[in-house]
Amino acid sequence: MKIVLLGAPGAGKGTVAKLLSEIDSSVQVSTGDILRAAVKDGTDLGKKAKAYMDAGDLVPDSLIMEIMEVRLREDDCGRGFILDGFPRTIPQAEALEGLLDRLGIALDFVANLEVPRDVILDRLTTRRTCSNPECQEIYNIKSNPPTPDGMCKKCGSPVIQRDDETEEAILNRLETYNEKTAPLIGFYEGKGLLRNFVSLSSKDTVGEIKKTPREVLSS
C-alpha cells in the first residue's frame, strides 16, 4: 500500500503504521524517527533539527524535503510505504505531489485518524520513554508503567519524560498541528484521497483500514 497517515500528535500514527506495515511488508516511513535518529547520532541534520523538536515546533520544510527526496527513492519503498508524520504542512504536501509524480507513484489514499482532544492530551502527558538511546522503549504511567522505581523493564535504564513531552511543548505541538497540519485534511479531501477513521484503538483502526476495497490499494 502507498498511504499517508494524518492525525494530531498522540493520535497513534506510529502504532497504526507499524501494524499496517506487518500486513503487506510496506515500509513505515516516520520523519520523526528519522529526525530522532539524526539527533542521537549528532549528524548535521540532527544538530539543525534538535532545537525545533525540543520546543515542539516543526523542522523547516526544506530539511524535511531533503530527507524525503532520498528516503522515498530507496529500494525498500518499492514494496509500498506508510508515511507517518509527513507531510505536516501544505508546502510539504505540494512538494510530495511533485516528488511522487517524478517517481511515477500514485498514493492509494490518505487515512485521517480522528481522536478527541482530551484523549490526545491524556496520552501525551502520561507518555514516558527509556533514556537509553539504544532502547527508547515507550511507557505510559497509567496503562504500561516502568518499574516502581522508574526504570526500563527492557534494559534497566531510567525512564524519562522526553523534552518534547513536557506540558509546554505538548501544547505547542497541538497548536502547531491545528495551524499547520490540520489544513491538509481539506487539501486531500479536495483531491478525493481522504478517508476518515475515528481512532480510539489502533488495532480497530487497522481493522477498518484493512477493509479498504482492493481496487483502492495498489499492492
Which amino acid is residue 61, in one-letter code? D
Taking a C-beta distance cutoff of 8 angstroms, is the pair 20, 63 a contact? no
- Residues that contact ligand AMP, how many (by CB under 6 A): 17
Which range binds ligand AMP by CB under 6 A, 29-37, 74-82, 191-199, 205-213?
A: 29-37
**Of 2, 13, 36, 123, which one is the catalytic site residue?**
13
Region for 160 from its dihedrals, namely left if φ exceeds 0, alpha if ψ lies in -120 to 50, beta otherwise: beta
CB atoms within 10 A of CB 88: 20
Radius of gyration of the chain (CA): 17
Q: Judged by CB, which is closer to ligand AMP: 56, or 80?
A: 56
- Cα→Cα distances 127→104, 120, 160, Å: 39, 11, 9
165 binds ligand AMP (CB under 6 A): no
Q: Is 12 in the site for ligand AMP (CB under 6 A)?
A: no
Catalytic residue at 123? no
Nearest residue to ligand AMP, by Cβ distance, number only: 32
Q: Which position among 2, 36, 123, 173 bears the catalytic label?
A: 173
| Nearest CA among 207, 191, 210, 190 for reference residue 199 | 207
Binding of ligand AMP at residue 71 (CB under 6 A)? no
| Binding of residue 7 to ligand AMP (CB under 6 A) | no
Using CB under 6 A as the criterion, what x/- string covers residues 111-150 for binding ligand AMP?
Answer: ----------------------------------------
Contact (Cβ atoms closer than 8 angstroms) between residue 73 and residue 99: no
Q: What is the C-alpha end-to-end distance of the chain, expressed in Å?
A: 5
Which CB atom, from 11 or from 152, has the smaller least distance to ligand AMP? 11
| Residues designated catalytic | 13, 88, 127, 162, 173
Return residues touching ligand AMP (CB under 6 A).
Answer: 9, 31-32, 35, 52-53, 56-59, 64, 85-86, 88, 92, 164, 173
